[in-house]
Chain A
Amino acid sequence: MITGAWVCLLAPLAGFLAILLAGTRITRRQAGIVSTASVFVGFAGALVAFLDAWSRDPDDRTELTTAWTWLKAGEFEVGLQLLVDPLSLVMMLIVTGVGGLIVLYSNGYMAGEDEERRYFAYMAFFVFSMLMLVMGGNLLLLLVGWGLVGLASYLLIGYYHDRTSAVAAAKKAFVINALGDAIMALGFFLLVAKLGSLDFGVVFDAAESGELSDTVVTLAALALLGGAVAKSAQIPFHTWLPDAMEGPTPVSALIHAATMVTAGVYLICRTHPVFEAAPDVQHLAAIIGMVTLLVAGVVALVQWDIKRVIAYSTMSQIGYMFVGAGVGAYGFAMFHLFTHAFFKALLFLAAGMVIHHLHGEQDIRKMGGLKSSMPFTHVTFLVGTLALIGIPPLSGFWSKDAIVSSAGAMGGVLGWTLYVGCLVGALLTGLYAMRLYFYVFRGEPAAGAAPAAAEHGHHGEGPQSMKIPVAVLAVGSAIAGLLQIPGVWEPFDTWIDPVAEPLVHPSVAEDYLTSLFAVTLGTIGIYLAWRAFTAGRELVRAGGVRTALEHKLWFDELYDAVFSRPAQAIAVGLRDRFEGPVVQGGLDEVAEGTLRGAAATSAAQTGLLRTYALAITISVAVLALVFLVVR
């Protein structure tokens, strides 16, 4: 199991280093092949580890291995540790499996000049970082992986570096992620101060046994939540995700749909003992999830960019996962993460095929009627959309509704509020997802779209390297849900159980009742969207509401005014008042002083012999005097 895990971790790293060191000596195609191969090798390693774990007793599936002691400061020790257990194995399979498919897709999508070598290197690097995050055996290594995925995200969002909008988006993503990292690090400092260790075992035991005071545990949990919220683009740290769509579409699929943004959910599930010891924070996580899923769902109703709609959808679905983790249904949250990876990546990749087919057009108002010209994409996109909405028997149905019924099972004011909120979210999902589908694939082709489609007609919808991953993901989206049928078989839940035991257990009846509500609402949403589209109307027409939604509830403007402007003003002020006169002036003074000293000293070098002779004589006289006095 451990060997498989090491192979899984190191293969993408090897791929990254290979492309990096080969530099300009390899072509784009070769870089793409190396990258894809390395990720698939990682998948093979993960598979081996998984099969080994499967063959064991459920209680025997956790292994913590230490490579060497990485950091030692007094009594604080951190080893280079890998933790392979059911939770990390799920993530490893998702990251390398879906990741591999997406990198394969990129080979076709990113056709162009040789600069794409950089892209493939970054993709391999990202996979490695994400694996480091999920396989980290202690909090510090998790943080290392956490930071590295933030870096990979920055590098890939800003991939089109000559576009100022892309660069700005990359910076925004990185800054907000760094904010989350800093909050998490503060939490870690607290833990180190109180416990002297960042090992999972030590921290979790201390949290469970009550060794840490309530305040400390709450603060630590808050810090973890802060990091998770920033990484997973939940409110209030969500503003970076829509802008992150500036990156290439496969990047959006991998990082901002399937893996990186779900890292927050993974974190909560992994560190659940800390959250369980601070129940208020855990409930806060659920509330944040619900707020995000509603806000994102509503804002998605007025977006015109195909990728932005899907981005808000991602935000919304992760909100579901946060609700799941917040009520203690860790298995269900992870299951939704699993199915979401399939259908969200599918949606992004299919959207990529549309964009590719239309030569870079992303505005859905300029699309339409692609059902006939892109049949393969049409079918796969529809599968993904229906899975997203949660129509049985597709995967989303099984995973999403489990979370909702868990909220109901929790009960209380909070539980039922979450329950209702999630159901409203199901309605919203139906609305915005179908709206997107109708605009892109149904109706009349927009003026200008037809010639582009005709040009591309000669090579079909896309190369095989793009179609195969999409097909695989479509199949996955369809059947992956069947891994968890309440009341019949629940292998996923049982798999996760030893690592993260759920706090709530909805009964089978509750499950099916919830599903009924959800599917009904989803279908209502589809119907309303269809009605609006065929009538040529927009779904949200009320002026004030529409403006608010179009401005994404003015979050960006708020942050700009409160954080961005003052920060810039401070920076400019410091530069003018402090750095200029004091720092630069100080350095100038030092330089000038040195020059003056040198000039003064060189005045002694008169070049006249008599000066030197005089100096010698004076020294002799002084010495004689000294001798006289001393003796």
Chain B
Amino acid sequence: MENFLVWVIWLVAAGACLVTGLRVVTASNPFSSALSLIGNLASLAVLYLLASGEFVAAAQVLVYAGAVMVMFLFVIAYLGGRADAPWAGGTRTIQIASVVTAAALLAVTLVALMLDAGGRLSDEADVDRAFGSPAEMGRYFLTDQLLAFEITSIVLLVAAVGGVVLGMRSEAEALADAEETA
């Protein structure tokens, strides 16, 4: 019974994941794309939970869906849903090539999975309840993976600076604004 429930939840989440993913890529309105992405993130969070990654799931919802996507929505709102560009780009050849390449990549991976399923990919390790908990995560971050922790913080700092610089007004713009208000 329990197994059955798990399977159902898994299938629903996986299905939602794929459907929303497709929606993101195919929607013409960027707003719809962004909302679909939020749905995608949510279903992914469910999948993480099923795979004993509790902290990651929480972080996903808080950071990704909460902060990053909100930023996206802000920008989309600012842009006013401009539809400057047609849906697809590049020549016909490039379009077909793109789809084919993506499909090929998928095929290769699936084949690899199928060949190895039953081999190395089937021995799952036994994990205790602490696996995936915030305590475990914190311990790892501050001992074994300290370097990753520090580098990530630097990356975030750089991004923050970059964001500010990109948002700064250029001299020309400042002059133009001053003229307008004068």
The reply, when asked whether chain A contacts chain B directly with Cβ atoms under 8 A, is: yes
Interface residues of A (CB under 8 A from B): 608, 610-611, 614, 617-618, 620-621, 624-625, 628
Is B163 located at the chain interface by the 8 A CB criterion?
no
A-B residue pairs in contact (CB < 8 Å), sample of 6 = A608-B89, A614-B98, A614-B101, A621-B105, A625-B104, A628-B108
A28 to B89, CA, bound (A): 80
A380 to B138, CA, bound (A): 121
A384 to B98, CA, bound (A): 102
Given that A611-B94, A624-B109, A628-B108 are known contacts, is A617 also in contact with B89, CB under 8 Å in the complex? no
A608 to B93, CA, bound (A): 14
Q: Find out whether the CB atom of B101 lies under 8 angstroms from the CB atom of A628.
A: no
Set of chain A residues within 8 Å of B11, measured between Cβ atoms: none
Count of A-B contacts with CB under 8 A? 32
Is B112 located at the chain interface by the 8 A CB criterion?
yes
Distance in angstroms from A543 CB to nearest chain B CB is 92
9 new A-B contacts at CB < 8 Å, known A608-B89, A611-B94: A608-B90, A610-B98, A614-B94, A617-B98, A617-B102, A618-B97, A620-B105, A624-B108, A624-B109
Q: Find out whether the CB atom of B108 lies under 8 angstroms from the CB atom of A611.
A: no
Q: Find out whether the CB atom of B112 lies under 8 angstroms from the CB atom of A611.
A: no
Q: Find out whether the CB atom of B101 lies under 8 angstroms from the CB atom of A621.
A: yes
Set of chain B residues within 8 Å of A620, measured between Cβ atoms: 105
A608 to B102, CA, bound (A): 19
Give the top 8 A-B pairs by smallest Cβ distance, nearest first. Answer: A624-B108, A621-B105, A621-B104, A617-B101, A610-B90, A618-B101, A625-B108, A628-B112
Is B111 located at the chain interface by the 8 A CB criterion?
yes
Distance in angstroms from A609 CB to nearest chain B CB is 10
Distance in angstroms from A52 CB to nearest chain B CB is 90
Residue of A nearest to B109 (CB): A624
Interface 1/0 per residue, B94-127 and A, CB below 8 Å: 1001100110110011011000000000000000
Given that A610-B90, A610-B94 are known contacts, is A617 also in contact with B105, CB under 8 Å in the complex? yes
A618 to B112, CA, bound (A): 18
Main secondary structure of the interface of B (DSSP, over half): helix
Q: Find out whether the CB atom of A621 lies under 8 angstroms from the CB atom of B108.
A: yes
Q: Find out whether the CB atom of A624 lies under 8 angstroms from the CB atom of B98.
A: no
B89, B104, B108, B112: most-surrounded residue (chain A CB, <10 A)? B108
Q: Which of B97, B109, B111 touches A614 (beta carbons < 8 Å)?
A: B97
A624 to B90, CA, bound (A): 25
Residue of A nearest to B112 (CB): A628
Distance in angstroms from B121 CB to nearest chain A CB is 14
Residue of A nearest to B115 (CB): A628
Set of chain B residues within 8 Å of A614, measured between Cβ atoms: 94, 97-98, 101
A621 to B94, CA, bound (A): 16
Distance in angstroms from A263 CB to nearest chain B CB is 79
Set of chain B residues within 8 Å of A624, measured between Cβ atoms: 105, 108-109, 112
Set of chain A residues within 8 Å of B101, measured between Cβ atoms: 614, 617-618, 621
Distance in angstroms from A604 CB to nearest chain B CB is 12
A621 to B98, CA, bound (A): 11
Set of chain A residues within 8 Å of B102, measured between Cβ atoms: 617
Residue of A nearest to B88 (CB): A610
Given that A617-B101, A617-B102 are known contacts, is A610 also in contact with B89, CB under 8 Å in the complex? yes
Set of chain B residues within 8 Å of A625, measured between Cβ atoms: 104, 108
A614, A620, A621, A624: most-surrounded residue (chain B CB, <10 A)? A621
Set of chain A residues within 8 Å of B97, measured between Cβ atoms: 614, 618
Set of chain A residues within 8 Å of B109, measured between Cβ atoms: 624
Set of chain A residues within 8 Å of B105, measured between Cβ atoms: 617, 620-621, 624
CB under 8 Å from chain A, chain B span 2-48:
none
A620 to B106, CA, bound (A): 12
Set of chain B residues within 8 Å of A617, measured between Cβ atoms: 98, 101-102, 105
Distance in angstroms from B106 CB to nearest chain A CB is 9
Q: Find out whether the CB atom of B104 lies under 8 angstroms from the CB atom of A628.
A: no
Q: Which of B90, B104, B111 touches A611 (beta carbons < 8 Å)?
A: B90
